[in-house]
Amino acid sequence: MKKLILILLLPYLLIAATEKDSISNIEYKSDEIIVIDDDFNAVQKNMNTVLNSVDDLLKYNNSIDLITRANFASEAIVRGYDQNRLSVTIDGMRMFSACIDKMDPITSYIEVENLKASEVSADKSDMSHGISVGGSLNFITNKPTINNDFRIVLDNQISSASEYYNSKGRVDYSSGNFATLISYSVKNAGNFTAGNSTLIGNSSFSKENVKLNTLYNSSTNITHGLEYIYDHSADVGYPALIMDTRSTEMNMLSYQLGMKNINEVILSWDTRVYYNRISHLMDDYNRSDEEIMNRSVMPGMYMPMDGTTETMGFLTKNKLLVGDDILKFTLEVFRMNAFSDMKMEMLETGREMYLINLGDIETYSGGIYTGYFTQLNESLLLKLNGRIDYITRKVNSEFARATAESYWGNNYSNNNLQLNTSANLQLEISESQNANITLSRVERAPTHLESFGFYIYNIADNSIYIGNPDLNKEKSYSVNLGYDFHSDNFNLKLNLYNDYIVDYIAGLVDDGVEVVETFAQSFKLFQNIGNANITGMEASIDYNINSSFGLLGKLKYQYSQSLTYNEALPFTPPLSGILNFSYTTNSYTGVIGVEFAAEQNNISKYINIEDSTPGFVILNWRNNYKINDTFKLRFGIDNIFDKYYFTHFSINNLPSLGRNLYLGLVVGM
């Protein structure tokens, strides 16, 4: 039966269960890992099975907030850093969003039934899955296990606030040296109702996801894995944007060769080749003539837009035992192509124009990572990380080059070398206390959009963005201090951090563009806008009061400032947190949860145009009841008091769901 378990301070055990390590597990404690579907004996067992989605799960990571643009897959941001400033991977594999309006964040391609764990390296103490100024976010998906078993789990759920229906399931089959796992998810939602019974039009969606995995053990320590993921979403309404997703299709295929305990030195060696392709189509055909004629941007025309990305890559990671120390080594190469274009169809004259937004931008990237972990003495562990990536980009489309010539001249390619280092020192103060410090210097090359995007509209500041091939890399110098206290039934975790960012990249109004006076948008060119500083704290407690009652609390705060413009950076998290009180018996788990955020007045006015957001408190009640070994019920009410609210990360202040009753039945055979 599927279990959702939230674990803080989790050692790496379940991912590297069969590997022998000479170094104790404290090496991994600085990263917050959330694990699902595992019987690990966590302090916080009470949370199992009351989470309904990947968004739900991500919310429980104290470094993560979610940007919402619709009642559909949110974009995970880590400590206020969006996807441009994070290395987001699935099992270490790269994937790039196809929509230039950010309708398809990478998290939209993952379903909760496919997820085994999410690894966040906000302190940048792990660079094995790439690194950016905001750290990295890697999703580990479920794999089949060789256990000579056959199991089917079907899970159906309905929810009231959006007339949402979700059917999902998985089949596990294993025989001899062979195992397979098939999972699917189908989702359908109508228009949703926000708080105070406010119906939000044009907010429905549908989505399907299928994942096939096979595993073959050719010997005791060699495995071959083949994985295929298909994801399709259609007619996703974006009330906060001017367009809607008509259809998005993602195909991903990978082959993995895994070797463990090859000899005394090589503990593990994983190699992967992969390919993925996303094609995204959005349009405004569903919008009323009145809306099209009167909107502030490009009135009087439909603007269907296509976007595709195609990525193929090779990744090999190994872990070596050198004396008593551990050496990790990763080599990664990938190629990515991004294309996006749009038509402009005049409603009145039927005339058509055409524009390329991403002109088949081809990226080649190669990287080498080395991590060295050494136990200095009984209580001190040192992790040293180094990573070098070389990234080269060019615009292939002649049409796109010609269109952008007045901006870029003959400058259609750029190359960047990224040098990243971090050092992490972990101190075991006593049996129950640990402290750690991480220092890092991380840089990122501009994204393909920042370099070569052309006429990309951002509704948040009503501006049209143009890429800049000559951007400098963005650099960050960070310090992260961590402390944790753990006893049999109580965990406390604290993080304090400061990031000093040099050459922060953002769009600034381009004085060089002559704009027709009636044109309501400003044109912004991506530029290095000077330095910025971010300071923040995260605290969490996890307290099992007794065998029945538990308490989970999380609190975070951040202060950010652009030193050039003396204002906050966009999407700065306000003081916010959760407080969950749980009751559990053998067959029942109930959780009363409070989610809250303070008002946010520390906003960006120049870099982006944000408004102050009011604070909110909402109350949720979630339950899981095990009827017998075959049947399980999941039910509850989110936002019990039907509060009308939106977060600071909601585009155009799109409200969140109002009171939402849900009921799910899980059948496991």
Q: List residues near Cu ion by CB under 5 A.
A: 99, 101, 103, 282
Give the residue with the Cβ less far from Cu ion, 369 or 457: 457
Q: Match 């596990």 to its residue by tokens.
A: 172
Quote the CA–CA distance of 490 and 99 in Å, as a whole number. 44
Q: How far is the CB of 243 from Cu ion (least distance, A)?
A: 6
Q: Match 């463990």 to its residue by tokens.
A: 260
Q: How far is the CB of 341 from Cu ion (least distance, A)?
A: 12
Q: How far is the CB of 232 from Cu ion (least distance, A)?
A: 15
Give the residue with the Cβ less far from Cu ion, 278 or 508: 278
Give the residue with the Cβ less far from Cu ion, 105 or 469: 105
Q: How far is the CB of 307 from Cu ion (least distance, A)?
A: 6
Give the residue with the Cβ less far from Cu ion, 104 or 123: 104
Q: How far is the CB of 432 from Cu ion (least distance, A)?
A: 50
Q: How far is the CB of 326 from Cu ion (least distance, A)?
A: 43
| Residue from 466, 470, 564, 571 nearest 522 by CA | 466
Q: How far is the CB of 99 from Cu ion (least distance, A)?
A: 3
Give the residue with the Cβ less far from Cu ion, 276 or 330: 276
Q: How far is the CB of 82 from Cu ion (least distance, A)?
A: 16
Nearest-CB residue to Cu ion? Answer: 99
Distances (CA, A) of 427 to 310, 324, 430, 489, 554: 44, 18, 9, 22, 24
Give the residue with the Cβ less far from Cu ion, 173 or 455: 455
Give the residue with the Cβ less far from Cu ion, 50 or 459: 459
Ordered DSSP codes for 264-332: SSEEEEEEEEEEEEEEEEEE-TTS-HHHHHH-SSSTTEE--EEEEEEEEEEEEEEEEEETTEEEEEEEE
Q: Within 10 A of 110 (CB to CB), how many other CB atoms are there? A: 23
Give the residue with the Cβ less far from Cu ion, 101 or 610: 101
Give the residue with the Cβ less far from Cu ion, 108 or 193: 108
Give the residue with the Cβ less far from Cu ion, 109 or 408: 109
| Interacting residues of 657 by C-beta distance below 8 A, sequence separation 6+ | 71, 161, 162, 192, 193, 194, 638, 639
Quote the CA–CA distance of 667 and 170 in Å, as a whole number. 11
Give the residue with the Cβ less far from Cu ion, 280 or 632: 280
Q: How far is the CB of 12 from Cu ion (least distance, A)?
A: 37
Q: How far is the CB of 103 from Cu ion (least distance, A)?
A: 4
Burial of 151: CB neighbours in 10 Å, binned 0-12, 13-18, 19+: middle
| Residue from 393, 401, 399 nearest 362 by CA | 393
Q: How far is the CB of 456 from Cu ion (least distance, A)?
A: 11
Is residue 499 within 8 A of residue 478, CB to CB? The reply is yes
Q: Match 């991994």 to its residue by tokens.
A: 28
The two tokens of residue 440 are 């890092």
The two tokens of residue 518 are 């009636």
| Interacting residues of 638 by C-beta distance below 8 A, sequence separation 6+ | 161, 618, 620, 622, 657, 659, 660, 662
* 3-class SS letters over 95-149: CCCCCCCCCCCHHHHCCHHHEEEEEEECCCCCCCCCCECCEEEEEEECCCCCCCC
Ordered DSSP codes for 470-530: TPPPEEEEEEEEEEEEE-SSEEEEEEEEEEEEES-EEEEE-TTS---TT--PEEEEEEE--
| Residue from 344, 236, 345 nearest 280 by CA | 236
Q: How far is the CB of 169 from Cu ion (least distance, A)?
A: 29
Give the residue with the Cβ less far from Cu ion, 4 or 103: 103
